């Protein structure tokens, strides 16, 4: 028995897409301060895996957001997050604080005064 004849137009099966290298960004934020969250670690591949392992080992909440990590991973270490990322990061922080049972005090503005001048 012979093998079926091969067509001269046979195309090899496509290779599966290569797995994307993991990317991780770690932020630090002090609740109650007026500063923006800061980027304290970034990494790709093995370094990203180590960042995630440290986070999990220390009970740090992790959130997956490919678009946000793309923006934040391009920012220099120990820098505030960029203005474009504030809304997305605020949403993530709110989720983390809810998960931890932390109450976020409302932000005070000049409009919050009760009409009395402070001494």
Token pair of 116, please? Answer: 């009395």
68 within some domain: yes
Q: How far apart are CA 90 and CA 96, in angstroms?
A: 10
The β-bridge partners of 41 are 26
87 within some domain: yes
Secondary structure of the chain: what % helix, strand, coil (to 5)? Answer: 35, 10, 55
Residue 58 belongs to domain spanning? 23-100
107 within some domain: no
57 within some domain: yes
116 within some domain: no
Task: List per-residue pLDDT tens for the chain, 119 residues long.
Answer: 555 555 556 555 665 555 678 999 999 988 788 789 999 999 999 999 999 999 999 998 888 888 889 899 999 999 999 988 889 888 887 887 787 776 655 555 555 545 555 44
Q: How far apart are CA 51 and CA 10, in angstroms?
A: 45
In CATH, what number is assigned to the domain containing residue 54?
3.40.1690.10
Other residues' Cβ atoms within 10 Å of the Cβ of residue 25 = 23
Q: Number of structural domains, the chain? A: 1
């Amino acid at each position: 028995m012979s093998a079926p004849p091969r067509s001269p137009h046979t195309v090899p099966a496509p290779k599966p897409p290569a797995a994307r290298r993991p990317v991780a960004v770690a932020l630090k934020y002090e609740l109650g301060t007026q500063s923006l969250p800061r980027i304290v670690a970034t990494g790709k591949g093995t370094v990203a895996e180590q960042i995630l392992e440290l986070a999990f080992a220390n009970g740090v909440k992790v959130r997956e957001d490919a678009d946000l990590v793309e923006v934040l991973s391009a920012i220099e270490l120990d820098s505030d997050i960029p203005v474009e990322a504030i809304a997305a990061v605020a949403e993530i922080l709110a989720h983390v604080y809810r998960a931890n049972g932390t109450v976020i005090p409302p932000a005070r503005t000049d409009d919050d005064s009760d009409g009395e001048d402070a001494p």
